[in-house]
A and B are shown apart, each in its own frame.
Chain A
């Protein structure tokens, strides 16, 4: 599904990603861990197409198409979803209206019919229930005045609505208390299928107790320095990142 080959990217002339290689197949969950500043969020942003980054080398194929050539909306239409670490607040645009517009754009791309207000409402009710979100909440301006936990829940709710092929969750667990973490994890788990894949970007092992990854990768100084199964996460939790740093010879 996703194939990242020797991806290099920099921001304002400073190289952040120094050759990332990663393959993600349908049905898989990959966790990318690493200390602060290792390039985790940059990877997420580059995959979603944020303009601030300059791609200096390598390629990213998504279902054999060149992802890096696509605009952010094209990537979304193809099925790439980024749950933002810091979702923006957009005063005056209700979550409901925003999602209806987005969903119909995605459907247009897929050659599906536009949803009318009734069908949309039905779908929204169903997914809102999944994320334990009240409908009145969705009439409020997008993320405006939401708490950190509400914003993150809203991100996963949007993911449920748009039903992407590849979801990238950027530090979705940060700032969540244990109850919110459970709701978010339940949401993500219930959306898992053999046709879609998830990349979890996280600093802590805690999230992985709830969303069990198939693979764990350690990103350090812009490179994946170690990969393994879910037990790698536990080892990192127990021994910290210094151990990995030592292994790569620092």
Chain B
């Protein structure tokens, strides 16, 4: 037990050290907020499996790893360019060990304000969007991030701007020399009537562990549309807790597709507050789990006003000794009448040492609503397998084909074709499917 406490003590010490360096700015509202968040983290500590929301995700083993605060690291362009997305003309914001790397970044859409969080903090806290959407009172990782975060992406799409080129936030962890722990903080604001696509991908260079504790605060204005694609491709020694908090205004649409391909421990918290009427939230997720991975998706669609809609589809394919967790919650608050909320979690287990723990929850306080959820765990459909085999496709190929088809259901929600196709290809390889799903007829 003393060992798991050690990381916490070190983080608290780090905060005090930083505090001493602040000199004159200790009394700023920003620092007071951070102080409060750190105190909260101190009280809450790291969550154990006795915590209902962490019942199936044991973070304790990670706390024994000697993580130390991430330091800036200089990567060569060759090292970085491996992670650029092929065939996509995008704005790129690169962060290495959580620090903005302008030399690797690229801005092509001048109509959008893109910067890093550190620079944005130069505005007084009252005017910044820092900690306006995320609550840290009950979330120890968010509290920790709020206290210790010092960089991340800061994006603001002005009212009425329709962004044609996507923004790619590229996170690279350099763990070649030590095991870094980082707390990136991203702030995204979509003005009224704006439209944007943000791709977020994470990768690791190096053989040591890494721990990313990221927080994203996202506001989607009236009639705005935000599409987010999250590609999790860290090394199999890395740990990540990603919390994103979305606030949606009237007639807005927020869609996110999370594709989890690797990582030893990945916990994604997605919360969307549907705060304006006629807003729509879509959560899609695909998990391809292997080795001893644990991938945990927690979602919350919080319906606070009438006439909103939320859709969720999460699919898991789990092999080896991997564990999948899905915890989806739909809350329909009193008066949020005419809510339409739908949620589905489907899993295929490929080995007897793989496990899925799923908990789809409905909490309904209004009567005139349409809410449903479904969860299944099973194998490929025997009837489909027989059909494919009776057409001459051998059993193992038929299985691969069906698995791939199972996954493609989620990928189809990615509107950027080159991104979708490259993900599709890497997933096909993982699932040993040699056929091409997207065979063109004309």
Give the interface of B toward A (CB within 8 A). Answer: 381-384, 386-395, 397-398, 401-402, 404-409, 435-442
Contact = CB atoms under 8 A, between A and B. Distances in A.
Contacts of A136: 441
B384 A88 contact: yes
20 contacts: A71-B389, A73-B392, A73-B393, A73-B395, A82-B390, A91-B405, A91-B409, A92-B404, A92-B406, A92-B409, A94-B437, A94-B438, A94-B439, A97-B435, A97-B437, A99-B391, A100-B435, A100-B439, A102-B393, A162-B392
B46 to A, nearest CB: 40
A75 B381 contact: no
Nearest to A120: B439
Given A88-B387, A135-B441, 20 more contacts: A48-B390, A51-B382, A51-B386, A72-B386, A76-B389, A81-B390, A87-B387, A88-B383, A90-B387, A90-B388, A93-B405, A93-B437, A105-B392, A105-B393, A117-B439, A124-B441, A135-B442, A138-B441, A139-B441, A158-B391
The 3 closest A-B pairs by CB, nearest first: A92-B405, A76-B392, A72-B389
A72 B381 contact: no
B439 A97 contact: yes
**Chain B contact residues: over half helix, strand or loop, or mixed?**
helix
A124 B388 CA distance: 18
Contacts of A16: none
Contacts of B391: 76, 98-99, 102, 158, 162
A98 B397 CA distance: 11
B226 to A, nearest CB: 26
Contacts of B387: 84, 87-88, 90
A96 B395 contact: no
Contacts of A48: 390
Contact of A92 (B390, B394, B395, B437): B437
A81, A98, A99, A162 — most chain B CB neighbours (10 Å): A98
Interface residues of A, number: 41
A178 interface: no
B423 to A, nearest CB: 14
A121 interface: yes
In this complex, the member of A48, A77, A91 whose beta carbon has the largest number of chain B beta carbons within 10 angstroms is A91
Contacts of A51: 382, 386
Contacts of A98: 388, 391, 393, 401
Nearest to A72: B389
A100 B392 CA distance: 11
Given A51-B386, A84-B387, A92 B408 contact: yes
Nearest to A128: B441
A103 B408 CA distance: 23
